[in-house]
Chains A and B, each alone.
Chain A
Amino acid sequence: MVRHKYSTPKSILKNNYWSPYIVGILLGLTLLSSFYIMGWGLGVSKALTRFTAYVLHVPFPQKIEKNTYFKDYIKEEKPLKDWIVFEVSGMFLGGLVGSITGRRFNLRVERGPRINIAKRFIAAIFGGIIVGFATRLARGCTSGVALSGGAMLTVGGWAFVIGMFSGGYAIAFLVKRLWK
Chain B
Amino acid sequence: MNAPLYTYNLFSYDVGLVIAMVIGFFFGFLLERAGLGNPRKLTDIFYFEDFTVLKVMFSAIVTSSIGLWILSKTGSINLKDVLVVPTYLWPQLIGGFILGIGFVIGGYCPGTAVVGMSSGRFDALIFVMGLMLGIWLFAEGYPYIKGFYLSGYMSDMSLDKWLGITRGMVILAITLLAFIAFWGAEKIDK
Q: Which residues of A come within 8 Å of B, CB atoms?
A: 8, 13, 17-18, 20-21, 23-42, 44-45, 48-49, 51-53, 55-56, 67-70, 81, 83-84, 86-99, 102, 104-112, 120-121, 123-172, 175-176, 178-180
Beta-carbon contact of A28 and B106 below 8 Å: no
B151-172 vs A, CB cutoff 8 Å, 1 = contact: the mask equals: 0001011111010000100110
Q: Would you give 10 A-B contacts (Cβ < 8 Å), ordered by A?
A: A28-B60, A40-B83, A93-B21, A94-B26, A110-B124, A139-B88, A145-B92, A147-B57, A168-B45, A172-B47
Interface residues on B, range: 35 or more
Bound Cα distance A94, B122 (Å): 18
B18-55 vs A, CB cutoff 8 Å, 1 = contact: the mask equals: 11111111111111111101111101111100011001
What is the chain A residue whose CB lies nearest that of B160? Answer: A153
Task: Tell me how far the C-beta of B189 lies from the nearest C-beta in chain A, rounded to whole angstroms.
Answer: 10
Beta-carbon contact of B101 and A130 below 8 Å: yes
For the complex of A and B, the 10 pairs showing the least CB-CB separation, nearest first, are: A127-B106, A128-B130, A132-B134, A24-B59, A90-B24, A167-B100, A163-B96, A28-B63, A138-B95, A94-B28
Q: Is B183 among interface residues, defined by CB-CB distance under 8 A?
A: no
Beta-carbon contact of A87 and B135 below 8 Å: no
Beta-carbon contact of B101 and A170 below 8 Å: yes
Beta-carbon contact of A31 and B101 below 8 Å: no
A131 partner, pick from B17, B47, B130, beta carbons under 8 A: B130
Beta-carbon contact of B111 and A90 below 8 Å: no
Beta-carbon contact of A31 and B92 below 8 Å: no
Beta-carbon contact of B26 and A159 below 8 Å: no
B93 partner, pick from A52, A121, A160, A175, beta carbons under 8 A: A160
Contacts of B99 in A (CB 8 A): 130-131, 134-135, 138, 141-142, 160, 163-164, 167
Beta-carbon contact of A87 and B126 below 8 Å: no
What is the chain B residue whose CB lies nearest that of A163? Answer: B96
Contacts of A31 in B (CB 8 A): 60, 64
Known interface pairs A67-B139, A132-B137, A167-B96. Does A48 touch B132 (Cβ–Cβ under 8 Å)? yes
Tell me the chain B residues, 60-75 only, with Cβ under 8 Å from chain A: 60-65, 67-68, 71
Contacts of B19 in A (CB 8 A): 37-38
Known interface pairs A156-B85, A165-B100. Does A127 touch B132 (Cβ–Cβ under 8 Å)? no
Contacts of B110 in A (CB 8 A): 44-45, 48, 131-132, 135, 141-143
Task: Tell me how far the C-beta of A72 lies from the nearest C-beta in chain B, rounded to whole angstroms.
Answer: 10
Contacts of A91 in B (CB 8 A): 24-25, 27-28, 31, 111, 114-115, 118
Task: Tell me how far the C-beta of B157 lies from the nearest C-beta in chain A, rounded to whole angstroms.
Answer: 5
Contacts of B162 in A (CB 8 A): 155
